[in-house]
Amino acid sequence: MSVPTIALFNNKGGVGKTSLAHHLAWMLADLGYRVLAVDLDPQANLSAAFLDDDRLEELWMGPTKPGTVFDSVQPLLNRTGDIAPPHVETIDSRLWLLVGDLLLSEFEDELSAEWPKCLSRDVGAFRVVSAFWRVIQLAGAACEAGIALIDLGPNLGAINRAALVASDFAVIPLRPDLFSLRGLANVGPRLRAWREDWAERLAKRPQVTLDLPGGDMRPVGYVVLQHTLRLNRPVRAYDRWMRRFPGEYRAAVLNEDGAGDVTVESDPHCLALLKDYRSLMPMAQEVRKPIFHLQSADGAIGSHLYAVQGCRQDFERLATRVLEAAGITLPAPSPGQLP
């Protein structure tokens, strides 16, 4: 049985996507689930959120290979074989990482060239396009993960297309600004086009034993990150854009009619409204922890501790909503598993 995969994707950068992936992975692990975090962004920011420079240097430049996701797909790029068994980095007793790599950008042209060849039933093309999914499934099986979260870069290139083909579901992070609103107009049509294109290729799959992803990439909702609150309400400048998210999400992403008078607070497609945690975020990044793991020794004292507790509650609700929206049923953790 394959590991269910959820991509966090927006072609607009700077929306907090990697931070969301990092916190959501930790929260699911805290809730007792076995989680594989997958870094398919050539910037490797998610890997840097989990690992210090010394460990990244070992994985990127050390003698032991494979260390990263690029090392696993490199045999396809070099025409020396199929994917190599991936290295799975242990982060915690219930959390693992498929490490990203800046060299992954070298795989972009190969993915782009092989995509149209799938229509000619080229076995090698299917191996290349499905490489990410097969690496994720091997890594998930190695750590017995119940779910995989995939962090992607902010673009609509061939790497992200292959990563989304490897995804069962998609969560769209947004900021309350014009650029995120405009980005929805790109994300929705592209997801539908890629889903249809992959379905056409699957219909022409060669008659060989090769497991391939379904490429559903079904949108399960959006998350609005780092909106500033005043008296528990978004400030006016942000509220201007947030009012338009429900209608634009339905029109652009779901290809449905507008939302009418639905607000983000009442929109069932809005998975969470996450506050700006201000000074807590750089504090958490410095110690490579999620905000809700910060302690007084990390500098979280006084009112910061209340914010840490609030952050935990926010992400616990979000993790539950994501699983529910995707219809993913994971084995219930036993009380002894919980932190």
Per-residue model confidence (pLDDT) at position 324: 94
CB count, 10 Å around CB of 178? Answer: 11
Band of the pLDDT at 15, cuts 50, 70, 90?
confident
Whole-Å CA distances, 116 to 99, 186, 199: 28, 22, 13
Domain ranges of the chain: 5-328
Give the CA angle between residues 226, 327, 12 to the nearest 5°.
35
Residue 24 has pLDDT above 50, yes or no: yes
Q: Which CATH architecture has domain 5-328?
A: 3-Layer(aba) Sandwich (3.40)
| Dist CA 83 CA 77 (whole Å) | 10
Per-residue model confidence (pLDDT) at position 339: 45
Tokens found for residue 202:
């699957």
Amino acid at 274: L
**Picking from 84-98, 183-197, 296-310, which range would have the lowest pLDDT averaged per residue?**
296-310
CA nearest neighbour of 98 among 49, 127, 133, 139: 139
Amino acid at 17: K
pTM over 0.85: yes
Q: What 8-state DSSP symbol labels residue 334?
A: P
Per-residue model confidence (pLDDT) at position 52: 95
| Dist CA 120 CA 187 (whole Å) | 28
CB count, 10 Å around CB of 14? Answer: 11
Per-residue model confidence (pLDDT) at position 200: 97
**Picking from 6-20, 130-144, 286-300, which range would have the lowest pLDDT averaged per residue?**
286-300
pLDDT digits (tens, 9 = 90+) for 179-216: 998 989 899 999 999 999 999 999 999 877 889 999 99
Across the range 48-59, mean pLDDT stands at 95
